[in-house]
Amino acid sequence: MKPARTLLLAALLAAAGFLPTPAPFLARADDGKVDLQGEWTTDCLTIGRNDRHGIVTRITIHGGRMHAISQIYARNGCQQPTVQVRYEGTLDGGLKDHGSLLFAHTVSAITMTPNDGDVVAHYNGDPKGTGCGLSGWKENIPFDVDGRTCAAITFARKGETLFDRAWIDGNRLRFAAFPLKWSNRSPDDRPQSPLETVYYRTSY
């Protein structure tokens, strides 16, 4: 799986978006927890058939709040925005566990916004598939998609808590589930291995 297969690969037409590291590289907060605070951003990654599209995901964590934006682009150099997906949630945990850190996040909102007229027409033309079971899509107007199935992705519902883990190596962050997996609703469902996508610290 290529690094770009993250939050919105299956959602590219409906919603568009890691390796273990040794424990000494984990940044630790004063209370003994690992510190995820700050802004983390991917490179411009390629997705879609023949890698023809691009995606950038930015995650911001401050004061127990988690905010993520995945922006999909028509071109693989990340030009011409087509779809944006936003995630809002609350964060809990951050305890070290065998070189990773354990945390959970609870969904506050997941929205999707088409930024292109052709995408709007596509969603409205296939409401049960790429349209997430919704109709009346409009350009640059966000729609709530929490709990809905968009193409191959079924997003978690508002209020659901998802269990995840992360790895930090210097200014690099990887997750085990977010934002690709949305069914990890108990500690036993928490994945053990990191996804491929790397987020780089862009701000504290």
Say yes or no to pLDDT of 110 above 60.
yes
Closest CA to 187 of 198, 199, 177: 177
Model confidence pLDDT, tens digit, residues 57-107? 999 999 899 999 999 999 999 999 999 999 999 999 777 888 899 999 999
Model confidence pLDDT, tens digit, residues 111-169? 999 999 999 999 999 999 999 999 999 999 999 999 999 988 999 999 999 999 999 99
pLDDT the model gives residue 94? 74
CB atoms closer than 10 angstroms to residue 30: 6
Q: With H, G, I as helix, E, B as strand and everything else as coil, classify residue 99.
A: coil
Q: Give the whole-angstrom CA distance, residue 185 versus residue 105.
A: 10
pLDDT the model gives residue 76? 97
pLDDT the model gives residue 141? 98
pTM of the model: 0.83
Strand intervals (E) in the chain: 38-41, 45-47, 53-62, 65-75, 79-97, 100-114, 143-144, 149-150, 153-154, 161-169, 172-175, 199-203
Tell which wins on pLDDT, 204 or 132: 132
